[in-house]
Amino acid sequence: MRADFAARGMPTLRPVHALLLVPLLGGGRHASRLAEDLGVTRQAVAQVVTTLERDGYVRRVTDPGDARAKLICLTPRGRSALRAMHASARATEEDWRRKLGAERLAEFRATLLALLSGEDHPSAHVLKGRFQVAVDPSPPAASSRAAATRTGGPACASDRLSWSSG
């Protein structure tokens, strides 16, 4: 995947960045909310956001509802990155389907999801999100609480990317 991203002019992009970029499709998010939703520290989110901002995938803007707060928003380059991630994930899945067959791929997916479903796994929340994006990149359903923290409008408009498989 990394070679594919580099070929598309995104050499610093990593599949794990999808964990932070996908939630921004609904509009701007506060770093604290992203951290809570991802089950990581605010410092971890801030580090990744700084990298993604430096590379032009996101931008921080003043929250129109609270001038003291910043929203993290996708840029056009960030939307392109998500499209590249989606295309790469679909190509990987198709390669696996050719190698394994549809039935074995379905069994593989079910096995991985079963392994990752245990809340006792230290990285279950993050790993489930990574697998979801890598193998079946449909946007996660937003909880009403998470949806309430997203902001549309002039600061960070929500995005309407298609996540269908074809």
Q: List, in sequence order, the alpha helices (H) in 64-156.
A: 76-100, 102-116, 124-135, 144-149
Q: How far apart are CA 128 and CA 111, in angstroms?
A: 12
The H-or-E segment that residue 72 falls in is strand 66-74
Closest listed residue to residue 22, CA positions, set 146, 154, 165, 113: 146
102-152 pLDDT, tens digit per residue, is 999 999 989 888 887 765 544 444 444 443 433 333 444 443 333 333 344
The per-residue pLDDT for range 67-91, each reduced to its tens digit, is 999 999 999 999 999 998 888 889 9
pTM of the model: 0.68
Q: How many CB atoms lie within 10 A of CB 145?
A: 10
Where do the domains of the chain lie, and which CATH numbers do they carry?
2-149 (1.10.10.10)
